[in-house]
Amino acid sequence: MAAIDAPYPGSAAAAAIFRTCRFTGLKVDIAAQRLIMANAVAAVVFLAVGGVMGLLVALTRWPAVHLLPSEWFYLVLTGHGANVLLFWIIFFEIAILYFASAVLLGSRIATPKIAWAAFVLMLVGAVMTNVAVFQGDSSVMFTSYPPMQASPHFYLGLIIFAVGALIGVGIFFGTLVIAHGEHTYEGSIPLVTFGALTAAIIAVFTLASGAIILIPTYLWSLGLITEIDPLMYKVVWWGMGHSSQQINVAAHVSVWYAIGALTIGAKPLSEKVSRSAFLLYILFLQLASAHHLLADPGMSATWKIVNTSYLMYLAVLGSLIHGLTVPGALEAAQRRNGYTKGAFEWLRKAPWGNPAFAGMFLSLVMFGFIGGISGVVLGTEQLNLLMHNTIYVPGHFHGTVVAGTTLAFMAMTYYVLPLIFQRDVIWPKLARWQPYLFGIGAAGISLFMMGAGTLGIPRRHWDITLTDAMHPFDLPSGGFLMMGLNGLSAVIAAAGGILYIVITVGTVLWGKRLDKGDAPLNFPLHKQAATVAEYGSHTTVKLPGTIILVSIFFLSFVLYYFVNWKYLSEIWLLR
């Protein structure tokens, strides 16, 4: 049974109240717990709003349905981007930062009152931006490139949200300092916390870039500045726009390690190797922002190639390392759990009925095969010409952010609910299906958009039949088929998303209380789940299954990369 402990000894920490989690044995600061709950609830609300908007976008881009008129399409597209790419993800990431610092380190959270102020700022900013979008005169899409201009409160909302999030990140660093100073842990921080630290560092650069460019843009919308240079805007804005997705990468890789530990007792194969991979993220991952300017003539080829190729590939190396060490840690743990037959018994007998494990593994596979490989292709200056500004680009980032990050965060929710909200997940049979439903839909969205983009279907275009265009143009019929399949996939993903929200909200409101009695969990933790909060490796090289899986991945990577070079050679008229 969860117990409220006596106030933590030490004068500075006297006000903090802890409980001991009866499932993991972790000490949980009640103030941190409430903040995690608030941020997680806000995240789910914005996911619901942004998800509905995403479905409307997909149904409009499905040529046979073409649901919304153009004005509504661009309004909804703007709101979809802001709500899911920024608000859902960053609210959830702030919850992860508080969990990875205060809970995993057994520490009190730094300045909880300021953390609440940060939460209120984020909420006010997100609502303000949504109000601006729904008023209809801020349909500038997520990127809001000048000279398109939104209402002042569109930019102000984003700035206030960024300031709140930046304060939240500061509280994460403050909590690390407190935990170190009060000796709540020994040696190095756990790997999951180190991954969260990586996300926090990238978040500082991201949010600072956002503030640097959005403040003058806000003043421009007020008429106090006469002009915003579009190229300057693009460079600095993408410091926020793309790096915010790199926060996701670091955060969801941490979630993979965390769920591996919680569900099957997985430990990192090598703390040093995994931390070095995170270090490569810290050093180089933000440079991927330059992908978005590969077709801009104002930037030199040297700037583009140094950022997106030479140095960015070091961050890709980090992802490749995680792509080996995460499944490797899972295999090692399953073999330790007794599943030692052949190359794949560990995988066949994994807890596929546990939505946390299933969601994590699907996220791992789809992030690597879909989002990862396509990201490297898009980030190659020459190959980028094949798909720049086509719907391939949203296909790529739905592979990373939806199939990768969102699915991983959904998976993590199945343990946030019992461990933090202290409510057991309702409707476990439906919950088992949720990650598969959402995952299949997300994979379909990504692959069909990428296929349509390869055939030249433009992104952000309301009407690809080009009705009423002065110069008619027929896009390939295969592209129309792909957009229809994308619409169907979006319906499947939306069904998975609705199921997630219903289960999450239903559990918070009506789930069986776990703070009283000693009822077991619907999705039990592994007996060594507490390794999530420990430093230590399980060093082994006997990983035949992982080696086979990684070899398949490399083969796919190489084939797809060179197929695109072949494709480029056929359409590039420089002979």
Q: Which residues bind another protein (CB under 8 A)?
A: 173, 176, 188-189, 194, 197-198, 200-202, 204-205, 208-209, 229, 231-232, 235-236, 239, 243, 272, 275-276, 279, 282-284, 286-287, 289-290, 293, 298-300, 303, 306-307, 311
Of the candidates 543, 531, 536, the one whose C-alpha atom is nearest the C-alpha of residue 339 is 543
Nearer to another protein, 49 or 290 (CB): 290
Cβ proximity to another protein: between 60 and 274 the closer is 274
CB of 147 to another protein, least distance (A): 16
**Closest approach of Cβ 539 to another protein, in Å?**
17
**Distance, first Cα to last Cα, the chain:** 74
Residue with tokens 């086509």: 390
Of 311 and 490, nearer to another protein (C-beta) is 311
Q: Is 374 exposed, middle or buried (0-12, 13-18, 19+ CB in 10 A)?
A: buried
DSSP assignment of 109-135: PS-HHHHHHHHHHHHHHHHHHHHHHHT
Tokens for 402, please give them.
């939806």
Q: Measured from the CB of residue 188, what is the shortest distance to another protein in angstroms?
A: 5
Question: CA 396 to CA 560: how far, in whole Å?
Answer: 14
Residue 531 CB, nearest approach to another protein (Å): 19
In angstroms, what is the minimal distance from the CB of 292 to another protein? 11
User: Cβ of 518: how many Cβ atoms within 10 Å?
Assistant: 7
What b/e readout covers 539-553, taking b as 16+ CB neighbours within 10 angstroms? eeeebebbbebbeeb
Residue 398 neighbours by CB under 8 Å, 6+ apart: 442, 445, 446, 449
Closest approach, Cβ 378 to another protein, in A, equals 17
Give 303 or 572: the residue with its C-beta nearer to another protein: 303
Q: What residues are paired with 29 via a beta bridge?
A: 18
- Identify which of residues 232 and 552 has a Cβ nearer to another protein in the complex: 232
Minimum distance, C-beta of residue 189 to another protein, in the bound complex (Å): 8
Residues 6+ apart with CB under 8 A from 385: 295, 568, 572
Locate the DSSP E strands across 211-320. Answer: none
Residue 130 or 380 with smaller CB distance to another protein: 380
- Would you say 173 or 427 has its CB closer to another protein? 173
From the CB of 282, what's the least distance to another protein, in Å? 4
Distance of CA 574 to the CA centre of its chain: 39
Q: Which is nearer to another protein, 284 or 397 (CB)?
A: 284
Min separation Cβ 250 and another protein, Å:
10
Q: How far is the CB of 105 from another protein (least distance, A)?
A: 12
| Structure tokens that stand for 557 in this block | 């990577």
Q: Which two tokens stand for residue 95?
A: 């919850």
Contact status, residue 153 vs residue 132, Cβ threshold 8 Å: yes
The CA distance from 425 to 429, in Å, is 10
Q: Identify which of residues 231 and 555 has a Cβ nearer to another protein in the complex.
A: 231
Question: At closest approach, how far in Å is the CB of 222 from another protein?
Answer: 23
Say which residues have a Cβ less than 8 Å from residue 491's Cβ, sequence separation at least 6. Answer: 55, 58, 59, 441
Q: Least distance to another protein from the beta carbon of 228, Å? A: 12
CA atoms within 13 Å, Cβ hemisphere of 311: 18
Which residue number, 379 or 439, has a Cβ lying nearer to another protein? Answer: 379
Nearer to another protein, 239 or 371 (CB): 239
Query: Which residues, in sequence order, are bridge partners of residue 20?
Result: 3, 27
CA separation for the pair 90, 104 (Å, rounded): 20
> Nearer Cβ to another protein, position 134 or 145?
145
| Percent helix / strand / coil, the chain, rounded to 5 | 70, 0, 25
Evaluate whether 213 touches 240 at the Cβ level (below 8 Å).
yes
Q: How far is the CB of 172 from another protein (least distance, A)?
A: 9
- Residue (235 or 493) nearer to another protein, CB: 235
Return the number of the residue (286 or 446) whose C-beta is nearest another protein.
Answer: 286
Burial grade of 527 (CB within 10 A; 0-12, 13-18, 19 or more): exposed
The token pair at 88 is: 């859902």
Q: Which residue has the tokens 């090598």?
A: 270
CA-based angle 255:261:264, to the nearest 5? 125
Please name the amino acid found at residue 527.
K
- Min dist. Cβ of residue 279 to another protein (A): 7
Buried residues in 478-489 as b, exposed as e (16+ CB within 10 A): ebbebbbbbbeb
Number of alpha carbons in the 13 Å side-chain half-sphere of residue 42: 28
